[in-house]
Amino acid sequence: PVLHKDLVILVCYHGSSAYVLALDKRTGNVRWKIDRPAALVSYSTPLILDGARGPEILINTSTGLEAISAETGEDRWRVVEDNRFPIPVATLADGVIYTTRGYRSGPYVAIRPGGQGDVSGSHVVWRVPTGAPYISSLVHYQGLIYTAGELGVVTCLEAKTGERVWQERVGGVFTASPVAADGRIYLVSETGETVVLKAGRTLEVLSRNKLDGHFVASPAISRGRIFLRGDNELFAVGK
């Protein structure tokens, strides 16, 4: 789910049944619900945007990226592109949406939000057709984009153009999404190794730190600590 003001918003695109549900966060009562085509699928957490006509919900779906009103569920705009397993979560930076589409080395894309209806031909800033991770989302940090995939390959892209800055194999299987803070990029592998990179235009591995366990959840950073959730334990690392 994602929170917006007094709403809890749930994207329920199951394939056999698809709908978006907005609940009152205090009572659980349904505030609005919209039905979508039954074949629609999404495994991605939605992103809330400040649109020109009010807040919007951006959803990574099997037929593309779609934005709907956060207040009513009304259709706003969409970028059309089929993908079987849309898992990664989009991010907004400097007024541009950045996301990968997931599944079998799919595309990266940068989109200007806004418009009405199909904006595939007018609002896509750049698109790289292949090379993105299957599951993990990207992170935007200091004008660069970083991704880490299931084959241990880490890629750094220029956010303005999508041009590759560097790409290297650092080892590990990365299902968790990378996070960034204090000039560093943190990559948590499934085997519990956190690879710490120096953020920048060349690859520099600062450290490798091992925890026991299996890790597929993305880490979270708050108040000088990084929180890492394994299958059976939660770790807090920092001050």
43-98 confidence digits (pLDDT tens) = 999 999 998 899 999 999 999 999 999 999 999 999 999 988 899 999 999 999 99
Q: What is the largest CA-CA distance in the chain?
A: 51
Statement: residue 119 has pLDDT above 90: yes
Query: What CA–CA distances, in Å, run from 36 to 21, 26, 39?
Result: 11, 26, 9
Statement: residue 105 has pLDDT above 80: no
Q: Beta strands of 94-138 (E only): which ranges? A: 96-100, 108-111, 117-118, 124-128
Read off the pLDDT band of 104 (50, 70, 90). confident
| Mean pLDDT value across residues 18-36 | 96
| pLDDT number for residue 239 | 81
230 CB-contact burial (10 Å; exposed 0-12 / middle 13-18 / buried 19+): middle
Query: CA 206 to CA 204: how far, in whole Å?
Result: 6
| Mean pLDDT value across residues 107-119 | 95
Query: CA 96 to CA 126: how far, in whole Å?
Result: 11
| Mean pLDDT value across residues 98-109 | 86
Statement: residue 233 has pLDDT above 90: yes
| pLDDT number for residue 211 | 96
Question: What pTM value is reported for the model?
Answer: 0.93
Terminal CA-CA length for the chain? 30
* pLDDT tens column, 130-187: 889 999 999 999 999 999 988 899 999 999 999 999 999 999 999 999 999 999 999 9
